[in-house]
Each structure stands twice: as C-alpha cells, then as structure tokens.
Chains A and B, each alone.
Chain A
C-alpha cells in the first residue's frame, strides 16, 4: 500500500485586497502517494497555483491561510518553522515554474545559477565538481550542446532550452516531490511536446512523486496516474486518468472536455456559461452553481461532498 507523501486537508486560503479579503481555496482536499503522478487541471483563477505555492509556503505577502493542513511526510507544512521550511524546499520539494524566463536571473550565467542550486540541495554540496555535475544534468534533459548552455546567459537561450535548464535545476538532487506548474504554457507546440515527453520519461524512470498542473486536460493525459479537476478553489472531481476521459461526471469536467476543439472537427460547443467566481463574494454552496445547467435546490446552499461514483472515482456534486 503506497503511503501518502502529501496530504492537503480542508485547506482555506484567501488574499487581502482593496475590496476585502478573498476566499480562494475552499476546503480543498488533495493527496499524492509515493511514486505517483497526479494532474491538477483547472482554468485560470481556479486556485491551482495558490495551492502549489501553499505547499512550498511561497505565497505572496497578502495571502491569508485561514484553516487546513498541508501534511508532507506526516508533518504540517503550515506549522513548520523557517529552518524546516528551508530544508523542505532544498531537499524534498522542487518546482518547475511556468515562466522559465522569469525564474532565471538574467544577470548571471547559467553555470553560476546551477552552482548555487547544487551547493544547497545536495548533501555533498560543497565538494562537488560543479561543471561535471551540471553537464550530466544537462545531458539528462536532452539539451544539445550542454557546454555552450553551461556558459551562456539565459537570454541567449530559447524558451525551450530555458525550461530545460529549469527542469535540470529541479532534478539537481533527489527529491520526494516534483511540482510542475504549467511547465509548457509559454512554449511552442512542438517544443511543448518534447518537454512534456522528457518530463514523462523522467517520471517513469525515477521513483519520486509529481504534481503536473495544467489548464488543458489533453496535455496531461499521457503522463499522470490520477487527475484532480479544480474549480473555484475546490476539487470537483478526481479519478484515475482514463476514467476522467471515459466517464466524466461533473458538469464542469464535461464542459471542459466538450469545449476543447477536436482535431477531428465537430465545431465548437456552447462553452460554459458565466465566468469564474468573484472570490470576494463567492456563490454559496457549490461554487459552480451559477454556471451549471442542472442545479437543484441544495446546490445553492450546501457545499457538495465528495461521493464515490465508481471505484476510485469521486465527484463533488449534489446531482449524483
């Protein structure tokens, strides 16, 4: 039985703004077992990046963690002291960011930045031959001409190459959890495909867990074991990958799948009416109810509980 590596329980997070305090994450529950890769799917504003930042505790200053637990290897991250958090970020959790350009310091060459990472994340950090280790890492992320990349500034590299450098950074030391937050959003389609396959291969070979965050269901389909669909700061559906595609239950999941234009044609669906909730004054009960075609009375008053509709397939909807 795989133990749980990460367990997020009833997490509630908001932000302070000029209009008041928002309520973004709303009783969010998520878990990642050892050696498993999960996908977190949601459109912009659904709270997926907020969730990832909470795991690492790198939220903005105006964030407010209202309640909940984030248990990593049994310990609650939210209650950790600074010293333990630093250790967490160096040794256990690594993140592949969405925008590689923003994450690489433009003033320093790649080699300097890699050296920093190697020094602090490896146990034998001080005694390494940094160049040799870096080249090894670059080879494993399929960077052609690793010597040249080693000696370059980030602006001299293409988007795909920068992202691969970031991936190399996240692999510098063995980690328990890899978080990839929309790692290919800013890349061209053909490069996107290459980078995702690389991440997929790495995940196959290594035995750590990963969270792959994306807006598009199609992107994660081949790389994750289970998928969480997030809307309005809470999980609306979770199941093994194939079940999500074969048998989507939640109206939002179905809406997403239908809205994705198909290569085989068929035109466009109606989309999903309405827009993302206003987190200052979110809809009561099920946050999706203003946009849902099938709502019933309970939808507007009570937050739906997770119901198991088939084995390992849970949906948060009153209509089940």
Chain B
C-alpha cells in the first residue's frame, strides 16, 4: 500500500482585496499518494493554480492543514526547512517568466544545486547540468550557455523541468506546464515528464484546464470550481463514468478530433458566465450555470460524498453511480435557453 505523501485537510485560502474577499480555495481535503500523478482540473477562478502555490509555500493557507511526509507545511516557503525545499519543486505555466532573462541555462539549472550545496565549484555544477540537460532532451553543447531569449518556448520549458528535477525531489507541482506550447511540442514535453516520473519515482500534482492532457497523464483526477472540489475519482472512472453535471459540461465542451472521442463526450453544453470569486452564488456555486438546478441547489451547498469506492461527488442530485436525479436526454431535447435574434443581424448582403 503506497504511503500518503501529501495530506491536505480543510484547506482554505482567501485573498483580501479592496473590492472584497476572493475565496480562491474554499475548504478542500485530499491526499496524494507516493508515485501518483494527481490531476487538478478546472477553468479560470477555480483555484487550481492557487492550490499548487499554497502547497509550494508561495501563499500560506488562510485555514486548514497541509503536510508533506507527515511534516507540517502549512507555512510559507521561507519558514520551511531546507530539506523540504530540496524535496519539492514546481514547474510554472509561463516558460518565459519562470526563467531569469539575464542568466544562462547553466546558471538557471544549476541554481538549486548551488542553494543546496550539492556541487563543489563551477566545473562540477557544469557536469551535473550537462547530464540534466541530456535527460530533458536538450543538447548540452548547444544550450548550456544560452540565455532564455534565445530559446523556443518548448526549450524554455525543458530547462524549467531540468531545474525542477535537479535536486532529485520526490514531489513536483506542475502548473499548466504545456499551456503556452504548441501541440507538437506539448507531446514531447509530456513524454519527458512521464519518463522522468517513472525513472526517478516522483509524485506529481498536475494542474491543467485541458481534459485531453489530463486523461493521458493523471492517475487520479479532481475537478475544481470556484474553490471547491466537485468530483474526485480515478482517471478512467472520471472520464468514462463522470457523475457531476459540471464534469459532464466540461467534457462536453472539449474539442475532439476523432469519432471515438465524440462517443465519449457527454452531450451537455455550458451556459452562462463563470461567476466572480468575490461574489459567489448561494448554495451550490454551480447552480447559475447548471442545466439541472433545483430548489435545494440554491439553498444549500452539497457535501463531497463518496458515492462509490474512491469516487467522490458534490451534488445534491447524485446519490450513487446509477442513482442520479437528473436526466440528460431531457435537457438535450429542450431548446437552447438563450434564443437569440439572428434576424437582428440579417441584412441585405450587397
């Protein structure tokens, strides 16, 4: 039985702004097992990026506990021990922003080695960096002394990954690591990440909005909406038998390229706008966009309930795998709610 590497309990992270309080993370609880790839999926405002940042200590929790290998890490990174900082690292979304434009690749990847006294002098650092660059498929001879501005997006991200694994950490947070990359480069980077995870026995928290990506990397997936978990399940359960309406809507919006994918897609479309995190809807925060909303959804927030082994859902209408109170076909047949006036723009063409 694999151990629990990360434990998160009732985590909350609020941001106080002049205009109000943003409840970025609003009470989530989960664990990540060793050697697992835990996926966090959601749209903007969901709180998924913030979760990664809180785990890394970029923001301290407002409430709740997080622990890493039974060590409490509910603190900002400055207060954590060096040993823990050596064992956890992060890959950021924007390849350009995460690399210091005035430094060479050698300095960038070598920085963590220097911080943790893992090398003795420039030469030894160069040797280590040389090997690290090889593991991310970058030719060290070409790249060691380059600056970030000379690198393509994919190469920058590969450098960021080399830096992230330099100290041989056991846990890495990957926050949308391929969102800024072209599809063809994305595939390469994802392969590198998968190989590395295997070879170095690492645990990943993989954050993305792209369900296609998630399907192919995560072992377990949690979907977040405005700071809460709506569904948590093992990957194949999540994608083949999703239960939460939001999960279905998100899957239904995914742009597919093959007929097989079409069959897997629930025929459920999104409606309305994503509410602001400062002004949350009452009751279930999804009710403003949910095709199945009922009275109770406006009044009470649903709890995250285990409806099946290791499958958690937060919805009033979901009681079990074959026990849901909504009917997808019924909604499919209804006309689209926003009937808009095409006549308004029909004009005589010249």
Contacts and interface: CB of A to CB of B under 8 A. Distances in A.
Q: Do chains A and B touch in the complex (CB under 8 A)?
A: yes
Interface of A: 43-44, 91, 136-137, 139-142, 144, 158, 160-161, 171, 173-174, 176, 188-194, 197, 201-202, 205-208, 215-219, 221, 245, 255-273, 275-276
Interface in B287-310: 289
Contacts of B97: none
Interface string B158-189: 00000000000000000000000011111110
Given A255-B184, A271-B185, A140 B253 contact: no
Given A255-B184, A272-B184, A276-B152, A201 B342 contact: yes
Contact of B274 (A158, A215, A273): A158
Contact of A263 (B43, B154, B261): B261
Contacts of B209: 188-189
Given A193-B269, A215-B183, A260 B264 contact: no
A141 B350 contact: no
B150 to A, nearest CB: 11
Binding site of A, secondary structure by majority: helix, strand, loop or mixed? loop
B271 interface: yes
17 contacts: A139-B340, A188-B44, A189-B253, A190-B249, A190-B253, A194-B270, A205-B346, A217-B257, A218-B255, A255-B184, A260-B212, A263-B211, A263-B251, A263-B261, A264-B264, A271-B186, A271-B191
Interface in B177-213: 182-188, 190-191, 194, 209-213
Contacts of A205: 342, 346
B270 A190 contact: yes
B142 to A, nearest CB: 12
Nearest to B255: A218
Interface string B244-269: 00000111111111101100110001
Contacts of B265: 263
Contacts of A194: 269-271
B182 A218 contact: no
B273 A270 contact: no
Contact of A261 (B185, B215, B264, B341): B215
A42 to B, nearest CB: 9
A262 B212 contact: yes
Given A140-B340, A190-B249, A174 B182 contact: no
Contacts of B269: 193-194, 197
Nearest to B46: A188
Contact of B182 (A160, A189, A215): A215
Contacts of A260: 183, 212, 257
A43 B43 contact: no
A214 to B, nearest CB: 9
A268 B190 contact: yes
B215 A262 contact: yes
B130 interface: no
